[in-house]
Structure 1
Amino acid sequence: MVTGETELTAQHIVWDWNGTLLADNDAVLAAVNRVCVDFGRAGGPITLDEWRAVFSRPIVQCYERLLGRTLSTADWARLDALYHDEYRKLLHTCRLAQGVPDLLRDWRVGGRTQSLLSMWFHHELVPLVTEFGIAELFGRIDGLRASTGGGSKAEHLAEHLAEQGLKPGDVVLIGDVVDDAHAADQVGAACVLVSTGVMNRPALEATGVPVVDTLTEAVGLLTR
C-alpha cells in the first residue's frame, strides 16, 4: 500500500541502512529491552509495536518517556553503551531486507547512481556493508563519525550530498523514520519512507511523503 504524494523523479537514491536495507528489528528490540531491564522499567519486555509507538527523535526523549524518568548525562552514556553492546551481540543474526541486493543492482544497471547514509558508526558500517557484498554498489558510504548517536540526520545528509556534488532536486532519500523525511525536506531532496523499521505507519504518514510497505514499492515509485 502506498500513501502520500507519489509524483517523484530521481537520478540518485540515498539509502538509509538500519531498518531500511538492513532488517534489524529483532536486534533493536532486544537491545531496547536490555536497557529496560537495566534501568528497572516495570511491566516486562516491550513489543515491537510498543517500541514503534514510542519511538521518536531526539532519541533521549524517547527513552525518557519509555522509562518514565529524566536521564542525566551519565544515564545516557550508560544507556547508549548498554544498547549498543546488546545490539552488536545480535548483529550477526540480521539480514538484508527483502529485495536487496537485486534492487540496488537493477537501479545501477539502469544508469543511475546511489549511496548509503547511516547513523550507525562509520568504522563499523563500512566493514558490515562490505561483508554483505554490496559495498561496490554505492558511490559513497557514510556513517556516523561521532562517538554516540541520536542526533539529527539533516546536517549529515547535506554533507553527504555535497561530497558527491549532487543537486538535492535529483535525489530521493529512502528511509524508515520521520527523521529521514525531515532531513530530506531541509536539504531540498525528495523522500520515500518504508514501514519496515522502528516507527509506526501513522507517524510516517504524518510527514506527507510517500509511505510504502516494501523497498520494491519504494523503487517502483521512481521507475514508473
Structure 2
Amino acid sequence: MQKIQTIVWDWNGTLLDDVELCRHTINRLLVKRGLKRLDLEQYRRVFQFPIIEYYRKAGFDLEAEPFEVLAHEYMAYYQPRSIQCALQEGTQQVLRLFQHTGLRQVLLSASRLDLLKEQLAHYPIEDRFDQVLGISDVYAHSKAALAKRFVAQSGQPADTILFVGDSVHDHEVASAAGCRCVLVAAGHEHKEKLLRCGCETVDRVSELPALLGIVPEVG
C-alpha cells in the first residue's frame, strides 16, 4: 500500500476491545426472554450490520418486541460498563506511530456521537484523532452516509484514505466511499466472513504499520 494520507478508524471491536462485554450484554437480553445464549463463535458468526438483522439472527422475535426497545435496553447496560473495557493490544502504540509519521487519523463509528465521546474520554488516545464522527441515534443502522460525507469534505482523493475496521460493514462503507480497507479479525465478526470481503485482513492492530510499510524508529 502507498500514498495513504488518512486512516479512518472504526471504534468498537477495532480499537476498543468490547467483544466480551457485547456478547455478555446480548446474552442478558436473550436469557431474560428464554432464548439461548451465544458462545463466542456463534456471536461472531451472527453479528452484522444493520444491527437489527443481527438481533434477528440471535433469536429475538422482533414482531413481538420492537427492536428499538431491545436496543435501548442493551445500551442502558452496555454504556456504563464499556469504559472498563481495554483497548485492543497495540492500539496506543500504533496510533502514536501513525500520528508521528504525519498520518491524519479520524474515528468514525456507528455509535451515537455523544456516547462515543463519553467512552473515548476514558482512554489516553483522544489527541491522536483529528476528528471524531458518530451517528445521531443508538440503532447502528449504518455509517455509510457519514463516511461518504467525510470523504467528500476531506479534500483528498478517496484512494489516499484507508478505512480500518472489524466488520463486513466496514468494508462495505469503505467501498461505497471509494476508499481502501483493512479488516482486523480481533473484533466482532468471524475471520472467515472478513476474508470473503477480498481486502487485506490482519489478526491484530499491531500488524498495520508493517502492512503500510511504516517502521518505528529505534531509540
Asked if these proteins are the same fold (TM beyond 0.5), I'd say yes
Does the Cα contact within 8 Å between 1:176 and 1:198 map onto a contact in 2? yes
Partner of residue 23, structure 2: 29
Partner of residue 105, structure 2: 114
Q: 2:146 & 2:63 partners in 1: Cα distance?
A: 26
Which of the residues 94, 115, 122 maps onto 2:85? Answer: 94
Gaps of 5+ in 2: 215-219
Give the alignment of 1:30-69 within 5 angstroms.
Answer: 30-41=24-35, 43=36, 45-67=37-59, 69=61
- Comparing 201-210 with 56-65, greater Cα deviation is found at 56-65
> Which residue identity is paired with 2:97?
D
CA root-mean-square deviation: 1.8
Give the alignment of 1:162-201 within 5 angstroms.
Answer: 162-201=152-191
- Tell me the TM-score normalized by structure 1: 0.89
Which of the residues 214, 218, 221 maps onto 2:204? Answer: 214
Q: Which has the higher contact order (CA 8 A, sep 6+)?
A: 1
- Count of matched residue pairs: 214
Secondary structure in structure 2 of the residue aligned to 1:111:
coil
Distance 1:166 1:149, change over 3 A: farther
1:208 shift after superposition: 0.3
1:185 shift after superposition: 0.6
Gaps of 5+ in 1: 1-6
Partner of residue 158, structure 1: 148
1:115 shift after superposition: 0.8
Q: 1:204 & 1:181 partners in 2: Cα distance?
A: 9
1:49 shift after superposition: 1.1
Partner of residue 217, structure 2: none
Distance 1:60 1:141, change over 3 A: same
> Which residue identity is paired with 1:28?
C
Partner of residue 4, structure 1: none
Q: 1:219 & 1:120 partners in 2: Cα distance?
A: 26
1:112 shift after superposition: 1.7
- Tell me the TM-score normalized by structure 2: 0.90
1:187 shift after superposition: 0.9
1:178 shift after superposition: 0.3
Give the alignment of 1:138-153 within 5 angstroms.
Answer: 138-145=129-136, 147-153=137-143
Does the Cα contact within 8 Å between 1:34 and 1:82 map onto a contact in 2? no
Which of the residues 193, 206, 219 maps onto 1:203? Answer: 193
Q: How far does the alpha carbon of each residue in 1:136-182 deviate from its partner, in whole angstroms, 9 at most, with x for none?
A: 1111111122x232312211111222343332111000000000001
Q: 2:39 & 2:18 partners in 1: Cα distance?
A: 14
Q: 1:28 & 1:13 partners in 2: Cα distance?
A: 25
1:68 shift after superposition: 5.8
